[in-house]
Structures are given as structure tokens and as C-alpha cells.
Structure 1
Amino acid sequence: MSTLSKRQFLKTMVGATTLTAGQWSGLTEALASAGQRPAAELARDDDFWLKIRALYPVTNEFTQLENGYYSLAARPVLEGYLQHIQQVNAVSSYYMRTRQFSDKRLAQEQLAQLLGCSTDELIITRNTTESLDTVISGLTWKAGDEVVMAQQDYGAMLDMFRQQARRYGTVNRLVSLPNHPQSDDEIVRLYEQAITPKTRMLMVCHLVNITGQILPVRKITEMAHQHGVEVLVDGAHAFAHLAFSIADLGGCDYYASSLHKWLGTPLGAGILYVRRDKIAPVWPLFADSSVPDTDIRKLNHTGTHPVATDLAIQDAIRFHTSIGIDRKEARLRYLQHYWTDQVRKHPNITLNTPETPARSCAIANVGIAGKTPAELAKVLFDRYRIFTVAIDNANVRGVRVTPHLYTTTAELDTFVRALTELAG
């Protein structure tokens, strides 16, 4: 039985719906109204971004300011995803045995292009945690090997290194990041001072999830490499949020991100980049003897999984690239400063995010004197119907606030009013 062409395959879909062009035409019309205006100017045009908001299924039940965990998929992406489910279901195992891997390769190629790496250095995973754990668990550790990381790193990654310490006798050396660094050198020195002759790896966040602080990854990587230390970058919140390529990060050895945060895919998609010369030493979690040790596909043997999510990645990339990363980053940074600039000087309000624009983008963290983070998150939702998340660890006490492209300045005005009322 020969493999169907894509056109023939689509014709075989029994009961599959046809994705209307309406949602995509809405995006085209909105972008046409933007013209050739600079990203910084367009970032302030609420009328334009209201047109973009109309392309998202935004709830009316509350104001969503916790988009950093999982952001909405745009309507064209969501409808494409539902269609993929129907199409695959219509022929089931036939698709899985004939088109699954070639279609996934197309998404992989597009993601590699966005990241600026070779397709043979990137795989599609389920999320950042899986990606980073693939590396951490896949390396051969010995007792006494040291790893440098920050208290502000993602909890699941700290847990994974704690497990390696219990299992192999490795040593974790933790630093604590200042919420308001004075310079890149201050951050670089902090990590460098923790390095010893036994240090084997340094894990660093591209963008700290609890505060939104952007770290100088390139400078940290170059410093670590001078000491012969590998660099593992947690980019969960940076990919499709900030304009960068892997080359901008100083030759980091490993990079991981989630696609359901800022690229806007359905849940269940992430990426792992492994620099070509670092692939061979990493053992796969699930054995695959069909590819050589130097082939990154050895790390991607996940068994049968929901392929519709992989297919929807291409839809999400189309939506993302149509808007453009420069426009996206400029709008997200504008929204964050729109509200933080209004409350930063309030005596009873503490911002745990750097003020300098280059050191943060969409995400910020705010606390109010006399209220625990949990109390603040609860009252914001109960009284004002504003959803945030409480953060109360690693020198950060407040709620994380994450607007997205569909967030309006009117919603942020309500949030600012709520903060000032609660702060007295």
C-alpha cells in the first residue's frame, strides 16, 4: 500500500470539517491595518490590538492575567487543531504508519528555523520540564560532580537535580538572584563565584518564571565555557516571547522551552535543542536502537502520542509569524510597563521585576504590604475577578502578572485600580 499524498489524504477524511478561511482572513485584515508602522509605535495602538483580541476565544468570566502558565490558542489555531483530531481519527492507524513522522518533521523544521538552529539539533517534546529532564537524566553523573543553579529556577528542575544528588552523589550549588540587578556583570559574577574545579554544569533561566527577569544568557554562557562548564538553559518563557536566536546565547549546550506558553499551541508541545557535539553523550530515557548515538532522534522515542498537537504547531507558527516577533515583543513589553509604571513608586506596593525595559518583557511580579501573596491573589479574584498566581519563595513575595496580546489596557486599568485600593 503506497503512502497517500497530502492532497489525497485530506480527500479521504470521513466526516472531517473544513477549516474556514474566516479566522485567517480576520488576521490578514488586522495586519493590513497595521501598515508599515514601527513595532514600538504599533504597540501603543489599542484599536489594532483589539482586532487581534477578536481572534482569541477570551473568557468574559474574569480577567486572565496568568497567561505565563498556559496562553490561549488563537481561534484559527484552535479550529485547525480540532480539524486535525478529526482527520487523524478518520483513518487512525493508517495516518500513524504513513504520515506521522514526515508531518512532525515539517513542524520540527519550522521550529528550528524560528530558533535559528539545525533541524538535526532539535526535537519536539511535551514541555520544558520533559526537555530539561531528558538532558539531566540522560547524562552520566558521578559522585562529587557539581551543578550551579539559582533558587529562583523552576521548582521541577531543582527537584530533578536534587534527585540526581540523592541517586549519584552530585552536589548542587545554589545562588540567589537579585530582583533588581545593577548590571549584567553583577549576575555573571554571581554565577562565576559558585563555580569550582568540580563544576560540570550550570543551569540558567533565560527568563525567570516567577519575576519575569531576563538574564544575560550569552555572557553567562561565555563565562561558563571559559571554565569548561556546560550550560543548560531553561527557556520556558522566552521562546516566541522574545526576539532571539540560539546564536545570540553564546553557544549554549542545551535549550528547552514550552510551546503552549507564548507560541500558542494546544497543550502538550515543547522543544529541546541539543548542540550537535553534545548529542552523543546523552542517554535516551526510552531506548531506540533504530538511530545512531549521534542522532538527536534517539531522544524522541515517545511511543504513541496525540499527533494532532504536533500538527497544530504549524498553525501556531503561521499565526505567530504573521504578527511578527518584533511586534509581539514590543506589545507585551508595553503592556507590562503600562501597569507597572503606574504603581512602581507607591509606598505600599513592591515590584519584584527590574524596571529597565531590556531586563523584562510581559511578566512581572507585584506584592502589597500587609498581604501574603496568597491573600493578594485571592482578593484580586474574589473582589475584582482578576486571575493571577501567588509566588512566595526564593526572595519573591507577590503575585505573578502576565498579560498577553489579547489583554487590553482597560483590563490593566482595572488591575491598577485594584492594586491602589488594596494598598491603601
Structure 2
Amino acid sequence: MKAVNNCLSEIGQSREPHLSTAIPMHHRTSPPLRVAPDDEAYWLSIRASMQPMYVNTQLVNTRRGPAPFRVREVIRSLVDLSLAYELDEYEPFRELKESGSSVAIRQSLAAYFGASADEIALTRNAMEGIATVLNGVTLQPGDEILATRFCYDSNLAIIHQRVRRDGVVLKFVDLPFGPASEADIAAAFEAAIHARTRLVSFPHVVARTGLVLPVKQISEIAARYGAFSFVDGAHSAGHIAVALDELGCDGYAACLHKWMYGPRGTGFLYIRRDRIKDVWPLFASWSNKPKDSIEKFEEVGTVFKALPAAILETMAFNLEVGQAEKTARLRYLRDRWARQLGAHDRVTLLTDLDAEPGTGFAAFNVEGLAPQEFAAALLSDYGISVRPFSMEEDAAMAGIHLSPSLANSVEEVDRFVEAATAILARTHNSFRPTT
């Protein structure tokens, strides 16, 4: 019970040794990295602290990342209380709202991502925040939603439902598949938007290729037309530095279980203070929160409180590793395989490895070998998992995706390169070059 009591005592408090360093991203200078991305002894210690339970060598981590053991221990220590306590004067989670949120949690998220606590609502995942905004922005028949073919399929499903239900119009921005400059991306949004556009929805990071969209420029374009700019941040939060008040978007939704390595079932929704009133909550506020209160988005019913109770431990882990160090490590792992494999005459990279800011994602195609064939051979013969993909709205946009995480090692990445090179060599005779 001592460990449990210690955990409970921290739920409603800011963890001063850690959160005192949580300066918003845009206020930070760029000092030298505290740990080099190729310091393998250090990064192996981080991997050991995460204790990933992979069956195969998992080089795709876009769905979820392994929570550090320390975060899992907090959750384990609180499971029984979360399932058994009564709502009375002995309430052990008295600092947490019914939704699992607390002032300390919102403050820690706001500090890390460059926002104010009154602009951050705790959610159970990115999709909850995404569904809130995509369903909550008021639209009239004939109004237009501007999106991209790179939006997550669940996001597009919500938009398609609004098209059917409300008679709104969905329009796609014509973006290239593969490398693209920020200027070209912004120009494409500028060309697509018009007076009937009311909502602009796009990912910060394209999950398959790692392309980073210029949020600030796109948000400025949307603002000129009075449109609500909404960012899917599932793959930027914890992956690259995010300063929400610098990005200028009206809304941003993310989860904490991918690149923040937090509990599955936790996330957050950011709505810029002056736009909160413009978004209806997914659930009507039963406590009559005013329309300009960020807390109206947190009234979602009963949650399993052991999960949000571990968020402060998650934030402590990320602050101790450092966002700049995390980003540098992820890019190092990407470059280690992508620059070698990209030099092969049958391989076409779909990712600009020199783009800034860059991610740990990259994708490629192999001439003469379908993505599914390559991935199947890699898994069956070498026990290495990568992801063949095709975009939901355009199957011609296809390739092979890798996204190593902090739980991956250089040895695993190098073994992938060796295996991929072997597959390319043994399929050489069956390959017929195009003329």
C-alpha cells in the first residue's frame, strides 16, 4: 500500500523536480543535445526501461509505443483501487475529475506542448478529440470541409458521415505523394480553399511517409477565409517539438500512447482559447460548463482512473529523456537504414531525409516487387515486421513504411538493412527493369 499511497499523493500535485523544467517548446533555445543519438549504451538503457514485449522485431510503431515500466507500475499499483473504491469521503482519486482529468495533468500537458491549461482538455485518445471537432464545428448545407488524402481513415469516415448527414461538401487538397516543399504544400492549400470553406482538417505528420505539413502557413491561410484549422497531431506529439501557440492552429488533437509512450486510453484536445465557443462538445455538458470553457469537452462519463493517474509519470519520463534528444534519436535510426537502402538502384524513397523538421518515419518502394511481397518475405524469413500500405482514398499511393521507436536498437535496424538487401539480391533474376 505504500507505493499506492505515494502514487495517489502525486496525482493532484505538480511533480516539481520534473515539471519545473517543462518550459513551453517555443521558449526553449537549442542547446547541444544532452545525449548523442548514437550513444548506444544510453539508448539501450532507455530500451531496457521500456521492456518492450515484441514477438518479432517490430519496426512499425505508429499504432502504439511501449509504455516505460515505471508508467506500467503506477497503473498496476492503482488497478484495484480504480475498480473497487466508493465515491465517498475516502475517495482516493479526489484530485481527479470523473473524466480522469486534473489541474496538474492539464498544466503538465500545456507546459510541454506550448499552450495554456485553459486550452487543454484531457481525452481518452486522439480519435475522441478528432471526433469532437469534426462533429462539433457548426456547418450548414453547402459548406465545405477541406482535407487531404493523407488524413487517417477514421477521420475521413467522420467527414464522410457529415457529408451524408448534413449535406456539406468534402474537397481534397491536391498534394504530391512523396517529398514536397513547405512552399508547394502551402500553395496547394491556397489554391484549394475558397469562401465556402469552413473547416480545414489535415495531419501534422503524414503517418506513412513522415512528411511534415507546415501547420503555421496552412492555419494562416484558413484564418484569412474564416475557416477553422484543425490538426491531427497523433504522430507529431512527442515525435517532434510542438509549440501550439506558435503553430497558430485553432485545434489540435493527439494521443499519449504513441510517441509520448503513455498509457493507452489517454490523449488531449487543444482548442485555441478564442475558438472554444465555436465547437460543440461530443457529450452535452451536464454541469452546465459555459460554451467558452475547455472543460466542457471533458464531461464524457466514467473512465478507468488508473490510466490518467499515470500521465504525470509519463510526462516525467519524457522530460527526463528530452524532446530534442528523442527526435534526434528517431531520425538517427531512420537515417541509418534509409540512406543505405535508398542508395540501391531498385529502391525509391518516398521521404525527403533532409527535410526540416524531420521525423523518424520513412517509406519506400522496390521496383519489381509489390510492397506486400517484400513485407511478407521480411517477416517469414527474418522475423522483421514492416508495414505495406496504400492510402485510403487512393490505392495508387502505396509503399513500405518503417517507424522505429525508442524501444528499437541499432542492431535491429542494421539487421533489417541486411535482410532487405538479401531479398533484393535473391529477387534480382526475376526482376524485369522498365524501359
Global fold match (TM > 0.5): yes
Taking the TM superposition and a 5 Å limit, the aligned residue runs for 1:150-229 are 150-229=148-227
Report deviation, 1:231: 0.6
Report deviation, 1:317: 0.5
Instruction: Report the counterpart of residue 309 of structure 2 in structure 1.
Output: 311
Distance 1:103 1:128, change over 3 A: closer
Aligned counterparts of 1:264 and 1:60: Cα–Cα separation in 2: 15
Aligned counterparts of 1:217 and 1:11: Cα–Cα separation in 2: 41
Instruction: Report the counterpart of residue 284 of structure 1 in structure 2.
Output: 281
Taking the TM superposition and a 5 Å limit, the aligned residue runs for 1:83-94 are 83-89=77-83, 91-94=85-88
SS of equivalent to 1:411: helix
Instruction: Report the counterpart of residue 132 of structure 1 in structure 2.
Output: 130
SS of equivalent to 1:54: helix
1:10 to 5, 11, 14: 5
Report deviation, 1:107: 1.2
Q: Is the 8 A contact 1:84 1:312 kept in 2?
A: no
Report deviation, 1:88: 3.2
1:100 aligned to 2:96?
yes
Aligned counterparts of 2:158 and 2:36: Cα–Cα separation in 1: 42
1:245 aligned to 2:240?
no
CA offsets per residue over residues 150-181 of structure 1, 9 Å max, x none?
11111111111111111111111112422444
Q: Is the 8 A contact 2:3 2:77 kept in 1?
A: no
The letter for the 1-side match of 2:42 is: F
Larger displacement relative to structure 2 (80-89 or 341-350): 80-89
CA offsets per residue over residues 296-321 of structure 1, 9 Å max, x none?
11111111111111011111111010
Q: Is the 8 A contact 1:214 1:359 kept in 2?
A: yes
Aligned counterparts of 2:7 and 2:250: Cα–Cα separation in 1: 44
Instruction: Report the counterpart of residue 265 of structure 1 in structure 2.
Output: 262
Instruction: Report the counterpart of residue 36 of structure 2 in structure 1.
Output: 42
Larger displacement relative to structure 2 (178-187 or 331-340): 178-187
Distance 1:141 1:422, change over 3 A: same
CA offsets per residue over residues 45-88 of structure 1, 9 Å max, x none?
11221121111112363111111110000111111111122343
Aligned counterparts of 1:168 and 1:416: Cα–Cα separation in 2: 49
SS of equivalent to 1:147: strand
Q: Is the 8 A contact 2:61 2:405 kept in 1?
A: yes
2:271 to 271, 274, 283: 274
Taking the TM superposition and a 5 Å limit, the aligned residue runs for 1:337-356 are 337-356=335-354
Q: Is the 8 A contact 1:116 1:246 kept in 2?
A: yes
SS of equivalent to 1:280: helix
1:325 to 314, 323, 326: 323
Q: Is the 8 A contact 2:210 2:351 kept in 1?
A: yes
Distance 1:9 1:41, change over 3 A: closer
Q: Is the 8 A contact 1:40 1:331 kept in 2?
A: no
Aligned counterparts of 2:302 and 2:375: Cα–Cα separation in 1: 39
Aligned counterparts of 1:11 and 1:79: Cα–Cα separation in 2: 12
* Aligned residue-pair number: 396
SS of equivalent to 1:337: helix
CA offsets per residue over residues 217-238 of structure 1, 9 Å max, x none?
1111112222322210111100
State the TM-score, normalized to the length of structure 1. 0.87
The letter for the 1-side match of 2:112 is: L
SS of equivalent to 1:340: helix
Report deviation, 1:8: 12
Distance 1:354 1:414, change over 3 A: same
1:78 aligned to 2:85?
no
Report deviation, 1:276: 1.1
Instruction: Report the counterpart of residue 421 of structure 1 in structure 2.
Output: 422
State the TM-score, normalized to the length of structure 2. 0.85
SS of equivalent to 2:213: coil
Distance 1:90 1:182, change over 3 A: closer
Instruction: Report the counterpart of residue 52 of structure 1 in structure 2.
Output: 46
Q: Is the 8 A contact 1:380 1:387 kept in 2?
A: yes
Q: Sequence identity of aligned pairs in percent?
A: 34
Aligned counterparts of 2:7 and 2:125: Cα–Cα separation in 1: 32
Report deviation, 1:115: 1.2
Aligned counterparts of 2:273 and 2:54: Cα–Cα separation in 1: 47
